Amino acid sequence: MNEDLHGLEATNKVDWVALAHGGEYLKVGIAQTLEWDGSDRTLGLLQAKWSTCLAFAAGGELRKLYPDHAALPWKIVLSCQSEPDERTKEFVRRAAETTRQEGGDFVIDRQWETG
């Protein structure tokens, strides 16, 4: 894996972990580093990145690394600088269902709206 890759292209890494404002839950972050172009490549990268984050959070690594916050719920957060295309939004909707079955959630942080 190229060490220079980050964000969506670094599919085997979690981009960041943070405590949500107010401390209600832990955020496992995915950073948008490519434009949402609806391509199979971009969607495939997001799917792989989500899978890595889900394994990290649901598999216990998150709680092991952050034991002081182990009792908190968690969310995978797709941090977007621009609005995702429809294919990406549909993937997030479907992946959110699976994520909820694993005890978390998957949401889009709409930074383009708050600018």
Select from 67, 65, 69, 72 the least CA-distant residue to 104: 72
pLDDT in tens, 71-88: 999 999 999 999 999 999
For residue 28, is it within any domain?
A: yes
pLDDT in tens, 4-37: 778 999 999 999 999 999 999 999 999 999 999 9
For residue 2, is it within any domain?
A: no
Burial of 72 per CB tally in 10 Å (0-12, 13-18, 19+)? middle
Average pLDDT across the chain, whole number: 93
pLDDT at 111 over 90: no
For residue 5, is it within any domain?
A: no
pLDDT at 56 over 80: yes
For residue 1, is it within any domain?
A: no
Number of separate domains in the chain? 1
| Domain that residue 43 falls in | 17-114
For residue 6, is it within any domain?
A: no
pLDDT at 43 over 70: yes
For residue 30, is it within any domain?
A: yes
For residue 12, is it within any domain?
A: no
* CATH code of the domain covering residue 101: 3.40.1350
